[in-house]
Amino acid sequence: MSTLRMTFVVALSTLLSNVAWAANPLNFGSDILTADPSGHVWQDGRMYLYTSHDENCQLDFWMKDWHVFSSDDLINWVDHGAVLSVDQLSWADNYAWAPDAGYKNGKYYFVFPAGTGHKDRANPEKSTKWMGIGIAESDSPTGPFVDVIGAPLWREPYANDPSLFIDDDGQAYLYFHGKGFDYYVIKMADDMRSTEGDFIKMDMGGYEPKMEGPWVFKRNDIYYFTMPENNRELAYYTAPSPLGPWQYQGVFMESEHDSNNHHSIVQFKDDWILFYHRWLETPDANCDARKRQRHSAAEYIYFNDDGTIKKVNRTEHGVGQNLTKKISN
């Protein structure tokens, strides 16, 4: 081998051996099952991921607590444990579903859906299930969070899957999936312990597939309202304001295994990251080995010059550093 070629081979293998891969699903250092990942970068520059927590082999979405993980490279994650549990709530005992978080007035806020009753899937008319949205406070991004209100923010309408967006002027908006699977938004009062004004049913510009899991973010003065369309493929709308009117822009991640997806999109350093969950076969002696269970995952997400979102593929390597990013694109 020529010296030049040898130098090239050594350089390439050194480069490859230095590439760090996050790998999907995200490695939280245990076999914890997480879903509905909501990513936020706070003042310390770390990524904080607030997730819901599936019970192993759970038969339905009967979920009890929420967890938070943090990372400064999206590869190595610290598990900070449960930030809140339905056992700490006076008004709910089940359905610890997709949470979100926000930072305002020097405090961290954790918004979460929770509920009571029983969902009878075979005989829906017999269902007694109710869900509402709570908000808890902490001085730390990793909690513990305290339900200082001791009640949901409201009881009617039925509400699930909150997404808390705080605009540059400090106004907080709470988006949620409401009765009949419609999307609503309501302003939060400055104290973040109550709402302000009326519920606003979102103006979706005439295209309104039924769905859950909203996520709102802002990039270059464009507001993005993103969601799992029909609870499956991830799609988005854009608007010039946090209250719309929203214009449908299309799907940016296809569905997988005809199963639900739930996501968040957040800037981390120079990159934009899509967190979502995948239903993967998780062998376990105590449940059907073919049963798919949910795991949090991440991908880079890219924008066109006009602000539209490029399609994102699911990858095994996920996010990582430099070369990984180039390969995944």
CB 171 within 8 A of CB 190: no
Q: Between 152 and 213, name the residue whose CB sits nearer to ligand FUB.
A: 213
Least distance in Å: CB of 252 to ligand FUB?
Answer: 17
Q: Between 213 and 320, name the residue whose CB sits nearer to ligand FUB.
A: 213
Q: In whole angstroms, give the CA distance from residue 113 to residue 86.
A: 10
Least distance in Å: CB of 49 to ligand FUB?
Answer: 15
Q: In whole angstroms, give the CA distance from residue 238 to residue 244.
A: 8
CB 30 within 8 A of CB 81: no
Q: Which residue has the CB atom at the shortest distance from ligand FUB?
A: 97
Q: Between 75 and 165, name the residue whose CB sits nearer to ligand FUB.
A: 165
Q: Between 75 and 92, name the residue whose CB sits nearer to ligand FUB.
A: 92
Q: In whole angstroms, give the CA distance from residue 228 to residue 252.
A: 10
Length, in residues, of the chain: 329
Least distance in Å: CB of 294 to ligand FUB?
Answer: 7
Give the angle subtended at the CA of 271 by the CAs of 267 and 275, to the nearest 5°: 60
Q: In whole angstroms, give the CA distance from residue 197 to residue 188.
A: 9
Least distance in Å: CB of 96 to ligand FUB?
Answer: 8
Least distance in Å: CB of 197 to ligand FUB?
Answer: 25
Count the alpha carbons within 13 Å of 234 in the hemisphere toward its beta carbon.
Answer: 28
Query: Which residues are at the interface with ligand FUB (CB under 6 A)?
Result: 35-36, 52, 61, 97-98, 160-161, 212-213, 260, 262
Q: Between 176 and 223, name the residue whose CB sits nearer to ligand FUB.
A: 176
Least distance in Å: CB of 187 to ligand FUB?
Answer: 22
Classify burial at 214, counting beta carbons within 10 Å of its beta carbon; exposed 0-12, middle 13-18, buried 19 or more: buried
Q: Between 40 and 75, name the residue whose CB sits nearer to ligand FUB.
A: 40
